[in-house]
Amino acid sequence: MYCPICRTEYRRGFTQCADCEVELVPELPPEPPPEPEPEYVKYEEVYATYDKGEIAVIKSILDSRNIMYYFADEQFGSLYPSVQPAKLMVNKDQADDVKELLDDFKKGR
Ligand SMILES: [Zn+2]
Distance 16 CA to ligand 1 centre (A): 8
* Predicted local confidence at residue 50, as pLDDT: 85
pLDDT value of position 59 = 95
Q: pTM of the predicted model, to two decimals?
A: 0.56
- The CA 13 to ligand 1 mean position distance, Å, reads 15
Contact 25, 7 (CB under 8 A): no
- The length of the chain in residues reads 109
Domains of the chain: 1-33 (no CATH), 43-107 (3.30.70.790)
Look at residue 99 in the predicted model and tell me its pLDDT.
Answer: 96
Low-confidence residues of the chain, pLDDT below 50? none
Cβ–Cβ under 8 Å, residues 2 and 24: yes
Report CA(25)–ligand 1 centroid distance (Å): 11
What residues have CB less than 8 Å from 11, skipping those under 6 apart? Answer: 1
pLDDT of residue 78: 54
92-106 per-residue burial string, b: 16 or more CB within 10 A, e: under 16:
eebbeebeebbeeee
Q: What is the reported pLDDT for 64?
A: 95
What's the pLDDT at 79? 53
Centroid of ligand 1 to alpha carbon of 28 (angstroms): 12
* CA 5 to centroid of ligand 1, rounded, Å: 5
Q: Helices (DSSP H) in the chain: which residue ranges?
A: 52-64, 95-107
